[in-house]
Each structure stands twice: as C-alpha cells, then as structure tokens.
Amino acid sequence: LGIDASALYDQREAKIKVGNTTTKETLRSQAINIPINLRYGWGLSSMANIFLFAGPQFGFNVGDKNKSIFKDAAEWKLKSSNFSVNVGLGFTVLSHLQVSANYNIACGKTADATWTDVSNNIIKGNSKNNSWQIALGYWF
C-alpha cells in the first residue's frame, strides 16, 4: 500500500470536420497534470508484481486557452485548470520496468464552446476530456 504522485506534461489534439466539407480544424490543449494516487500491489513472484491505483488528478492549462475555428464561426475556451479522477492498474517486472494503464474521468467541464449555425443562431456548449492514459517507466 502506498501513494504515487507525479507531475506530467500532457498534450491533446482533436481534429474537427463539419459534415462532408473539406474544412478541417485542429484543437490542441497543453497542460501540466499532477496525479496523486493511492496504490495497492501484490507480488506474483520475486520478479513481478501487479498493482491497482486510484486518486485525484489536478490539471493546469499551460497552452493557448482560446481558439477561433472555422473562420471565426466558433470559439473554443479552455478552462485554466481542471480536476479529474484516475482509476487504473499496472505491473512491474524485474523490479525496474513498469507498465500501467488508467482511465481519467473529468469531474467538470474542461472547455466552453460557442458557434454560429447556418441560420446565424448562436449555440453554446461545453466539453469534458475523459481519456485513457498509458505509461511506461524504468526505475533506476
């Protein structure tokens, strides 16, 4: 039983295409994430162990917070920070090589969007960034 904390650089991209048009846009977010996980593991042998972990993750946006897309028909505004929860599992081999995977669940909206439709109506929405995370580490 233990606590696992780290600081991670995270860059995500989303490609957006409207209908059958050739117009495409890319949204990019950059953040420093700080996960703090409670971790429980058990040994399979002297050479390997498996562990489960869960805990909060605090994210801070370090990239552009606002983006106009589709010739200013839409505006995307990322939040400066976000809070999420990790749930995952992993294994360690030969006491040095570690592989893990987790699902990151956003606990609030991570961005607000405003766009204008073909009838010039203004539409507002928001988004959440739930994601899978895969990690590979080597312990010295």
| Tally of residues, the chain | 140
In 3D space, the residue among 110, 136, 119 whose CA is nearest the CA of residue 33 turns out to be 110
Could you tell me if 65 and 29 are in contact, meaning their C-beta atoms sit under 8 angstroms apart? no
Tens of pLDDT along the chain (140 residues)? 899 898 999 888 877 776 666 667 777 888 899 999 999 999 888 789 999 999 999 989 898 777 776 666 677 778 888 899 999 999 999 888 999 999 999 898 878 877 777 677 777 877 778 889 899 998 88
Could you tell me if 60 and 91 are in contact, meaning their C-beta atoms sit under 8 angstroms apart? no
